[in-house]
Amino acid sequence: MDEELAIKVEHVSKKYCKSIKRSMWYGIKDITRNIVGLGSHSEKLRKDEFWAVNDVSFEVKKGEILGIIGPNGSGKTTLLKLLNGIFWPDKGKITIKGKVGALIEVGAGFHPMLTGRQNVYINGAILGMNKKEIDEKFDSIIKFADIGDFIDVPVKYYSSGMFIRLGFAVAVHRDPDILLVDEVLAVGDRNFQIKCFRKMHELKKTQDMSIVIVSHNEYVMREYCKTCIVLNKGKNIFYGESEAAISFYINNIVKEREIREQNKEAIHNKEIIKEISFIDSLGNIVQTIPTGEKLIIEFDYETKEKIRSPIFGISFYDYQGLFTGFWNSYENIKLPDIINKGKIRVTINNFDLPVGSYRYAVVVCEEEESNVLEWRDFEEKLIVERPQNTRGLLKLKQTWEVIK
C-alpha cells in the first residue's frame, strides 16, 4: 500500500438478507463450511439476499477529506461500518493504515443505565484508549462535549444531540489517524456542528488526519471535501471532485426520484405553464448558474381562456424550505391580459442565491394573488454553483480602492 494512503478499498461488496430466518440459517451454514474448510461461497447471492455495497473501490490519502453522498438505502452507512471493521466484506479488500475513530450511530457504544462519566471510560476503552489516557483527556472531553451537569446523569435521559456531543468528543480525543463521521452530526445544533468541523479541520492540519464524511448537506461537501463518491443501490456511480459529484448526484439521482414521485400523483389544476427555461448571460438554456451571475427566467404559457392582469411567480426552495421568490406583483408590475401561446420573461441581473440546489414551484394567478389558476412544482432543480474567484456561499458585488 502506498505510504501516502490512509484507506484503500478494492472491489468491496457486502450482502444482507431480507429474511431474518434465512439470514440465521445462512450464517450457521457459512460458519460450518468455514470450520470444515469448504468456504462459504460468500461471493454468490442466495434467496432473499441483496448487495448493500457492490464492487466499490476508492482511496483516501493522509490528510484528505472524502465525502460520501447518495439517497437513503444506497449503502453509505454500511460502507462506513465496513471501514470501521464492524462488518467484514463478502468480497474485496479494505486496507486501513492507522487508528480509526468513528461516529456512526447515535448512542453507539453507550450503556443507557450508566452515567455520561462512566460511558466516557467505556466508550474510550472500546475505541482503544487505556484508563490513563482517558484520565489525562477527561477534562478536555467534558469541556468539548459541553453537557454540563448531565455528565453524571444516566445517558438514557440524554437527547440525541447530547449523545452526539459526548460521542464525538470521545472519538476526536482518541487522536485518530482516520475519522469516520455519519449523518449523525446533523442531529446536533448548528453551533456544535461548527465546533465539530473546526476540530476536524484542526486535527487534519496538525495530525494529518484523514476523514470520511457521510452527509446530505451539500455545503459540507463543497466546503470540506476535496473529493466525493456517489453511491446508488450499493454501487459507486461517481468518484471525483466534490462540486462535480454534487452536480452529478442532483442531476442523475434526485431528479429521477422526483420524476417517479410526481408521476404517482396527477396534477389537478390547470396546466398553463408548459415550460420553465433558465437562460444565462450568453443566451444558453442552463440548469446550473454561478451565484451572482445574470439569469433570465422564461415562462412558456398556453391558455384557451383569456387571463386578465396575470400574475406569474416562481419560488425557490432549499432543504430547509422556501428561500425566495420572484413575482411580478411583488414589484408592482402589471402585465397585459394573455391568451393562446406566449412567453413571460423576468431578468435578474445579479442572481444572488447562495450556492446550493433549489427546487422550484411556479404559480399563475388572475388579477390578484388569491385567485390562483395554477400552482405546480417542477421535477428539475436549479443548481447554483460557486464561481471560481470566490469563497463561501455568495459572491457579493464589490469595489476596492486605496485611500491615502
Q: 265 falls in which pLDDT band (50, 70, 90)?
A: very low
Q: Is residue 323 part of a domain?
A: yes
- Kindly tell me if the per-residue pLDDT of 264 is higher than 60: no
In a shared domain, residues 304 and 199: no
In a shared domain, residues 220 and 78: yes
Give the per-residue pLDDT at 145: 86
Q: Read off the pLDDT of each residue in 43-63 and give the average, rounded to a whole number.
A: 87
Give the per-residue pLDDT at 1: 65
Q: Is residue 275 part of a domain?
A: yes
Number of structural domains found in the chain: 2
pLDDT tens digit string along 303-312?
999 999 999 9
Give the per-residue pLDDT at 346: 94
Residue pair 312/375 in contact by the 8 Å Cβ criterion: no
Residue ending a domain, among 256, 284, 301, is 256
In a shared domain, residues 142 and 71: yes
In a shared domain, residues 241 and 271: no
CATH code of 327's domain: 2.70.50.60
Could you tell me the CA-to-CA distances from 221 to 209, 246, 274, 290, 298 in Å, in that order?
17, 8, 34, 17, 31
In a shared domain, residues 155 and 283: no
In a shared domain, residues 277 and 223: no
Q: Are strands 372-385 and 356-366 parallel, antiparallel or unpaired?
A: antiparallel
Rounded distance, CA 144 to CA 276, Å?
49
In a shared domain, residues 200 and 75: yes
Residue ending a domain, among 225, 256, 287, is 256
Q: Read off the pLDDT of each residue in 293-309 and give the average, rounded to a whole number.
A: 93
- Kindly tell me if the per-residue pLDDT of 238 is higher than 50: yes
Q: Is residue 159 part of a domain?
A: yes
Please give the single-letter amino acid code of residue 300: D
Half-sphere exposure of 244 (CA within 13 A, CB side): 8
In a shared domain, residues 136 and 183: yes
In a shared domain, residues 278 and 249: no
Give the per-residue pLDDT at 12: 93
- Kindly tell me if the per-residue pLDDT of 59 is higher than 50: yes
> 25: which 3 cell numbers?
440459517
Q: 190 falls in which pLDDT band (50, 70, 90)?
A: low
> 108: which 3 cell numbers?
453507539
Considering the chain, what percentage of its residues have pLDDT values greater than 70?
87
- Kindly tell me if the per-residue pLDDT of 155 is higher than 50: yes
pLDDT tens digit string along 84-109?
888 888 889 999 998 887 777 666 67
Give the per-residue pLDDT at 74: 87
Q: Are strands 273-279 and 227-232 parallel, antiparallel or unpaired?
A: unpaired
Q: Is residue 62 part of a domain?
A: yes
**Other CB atoms within 10 A of residue 310 CB:** 23
Q: Read off the pLDDT of each residue in 23-39 and give the average, rounded to a whole number.
A: 73
Residue ending a domain, among 256, 277, 292, is 256
pTM over 0.85: no
Specify burial of residue 164 (Cβ count, 10 A radius: 0-12, 13-18, 19+). buried
In a shared domain, residues 281 and 341: yes
Q: Are strands 273-279 and 295-307 parallel, antiparallel or unpaired?
A: antiparallel
CATH code of 170's domain: 3.40.50.300
Q: Is residue 193 part of a domain?
A: yes
In a shared domain, residues 280 and 233: no
In a shared domain, residues 290 and 216: no
Half-sphere exposure of 308 (CA within 13 A, CB side): 3
The whole domain housing 144 covers: 5-256
pLDDT tens digit string along 208-221?
889 898 887 776 78
Give the per-residue pLDDT at 320: 63
Q: Read off the pLDDT of each residue in 338-364 and give the average, rounded to a whole number.
A: 90
Q: Is residue 390 part of a domain?
A: no
Give the per-residue pLDDT at 177: 87
Q: Read off the pLDDT of each residue in 112-121 and give the average, rounded to a whole number.
A: 90
Give the per-residue pLDDT at 380: 78
- Kindly tell me if the per-residue pLDDT of 257 is higher than 60: no
- Kindly tell me if the per-residue pLDDT of 269 is higher than 60: no
Q: Is residue 397 part of a domain?
A: no
- Kindly tell me if the per-residue pLDDT of 259 is higher than 50: no
Q: Which residue has the higher pLDDT, 175 or 362?
A: 362
Give the per-residue pLDDT at 344: 94
Q: What is the mean pLDDT of the chain?
A: 83
Q: Is residue 24 part of a domain?
A: yes
